[in-house]
Amino acid sequence: MIKKILEKEILFKKRIKEIEKELLNFHDFNNINKYKDLNKEHKYISTILIEFDSYKEILNSINSNNDILKIESDKEILNMVHEEIKNLYNLKKNQEATIYKYLIPNDVNDSKNVILEIRSGTGGDEAALFAGVLYRAYIKYAEINKWKVEVLNKTEGTQGGYKEIIVNISGNEVYQNLKFESGVHRVQRVPTTDTQGRIHTSAASIAVLPEPENIDVKIKDSDLRKDTFCSSGPGGQSVNTTYSAIRLVHIPTGITVQCQDEKSQIKNYDKALKVLKARIYEKQIKEQKLQISSARKNMILNGDRSEKIRTYNFPQNRVTDHRINLIFYNINHILNGHFFDLIKELQLYNNKLIFNAQMAK
């Protein structure tokens, strides 16, 4: 990995020399845009090379400390050196993450807002309760990031929680931070619904859909069927007696969305249309991903919501992400919205895969 990263540095150094030569001999000021582009590229590569310099300094420090281990016999000094090497490897990992961001192509959806869908899976009432736990965790994560959350539709469970809840989360780089959360989340705990204290396993599925701009998804009126019906709550009781609930069917794809959270039919329609566009956009993205080379097919970015991605084990205070075999022993901290370390590891792992796929070409 180190060799591949440093090979990239050589290419950037070669390119910046070419740019400097072009700028030095540039006389075609009728083509001022080219001049600006060259300066912009020069600034960009100069920034990257600074990061490479920092990376090499860390590598040199690691090598120097390893040399000390070979000749030093004092136990106290050896312990200090081992601790220093441990810290340096953490710095190396963080610096690699920074460099990957420069070296891999941007995801065009990273800056988008998201439609977050949480649905209870296997486990009955306990699954609905767990869906509620996940919902609160992501709401707290959104609050920490100062994102705005709007509930688009929800169906409550009979014992609490949610059979389904769909929210719109807007803010700075929401999709970039949540896109790896799509999939099946499993919980192992003693539920309040069990009187004998047995550990149950249940699940909830999550879909994180980038919210498309109007230019991303256009829906013809002739391709849309709208149905209205009376809203209802848990157990079928009536929420209101007016036909305010909306069901939208996109005829070409068969995608169906319904919304009954608002008393206003117009508001329900707007929310349902927002979710429908997100699902159509997600379908378009999946179709595009089928064309991606085999080297990238195994990336965690596939967002397959049918795949079990994480287990929350309460008796062992353990959160396991199965895609990267990473374990955290602070379940309550994570479920209080502190996903930062987990998401950082997922981003780094995915960026490594993309970088290796690029280098393999």
Residues 213-263: tens digit of each pLDDT? 766 788 888 889 988 887 765 544 445 556 788 899 999 898 999 888 788
Q: How far is CA 140 from CA 135, 171, 293, 312, in A?
A: 9, 14, 37, 17
Each residue of 280-295: pLDDT tens digit?
888 887 776 665 443 3
Fold of 113-335: Alpha-Beta Plaits (3.30.70)
Q: How many CA atoms lie within 13 A of 213 on its CB side?
A: 7
Distance between CA atoms of 61 and 173, rounded to whole angstroms? 34
Distance between CA atoms of 18 and 23, rounded to whole angstroms? 9
Each residue of 165-175: pLDDT tens digit?
999 999 999 99
* Contact by Cβ (8 Å): 55, 15: no
Residue 303 has pLDDT above 80, yes or no: no
In our burial notation (b when 16+ CB lie closer than 10 A, e otherwise), range 290-327 reads eeeeeebeebbbbbebeeebbbbbbeeeebbbebbeee
Sign of CA dihedral 345, 119, 154, 250: positive
The domain spans of the chain are: 2-103, 113-335
pLDDT value, residue 232: 66
Residue for token digits 């050896």?
78
Q: Predicted confidence band at 296 (pLDDT cuts at 50, 70, 90)?
A: very low
pLDDT value, residue 202: 92
pLDDT value, residue 260: 85
Higher pLDDT, 67 or 359: 67
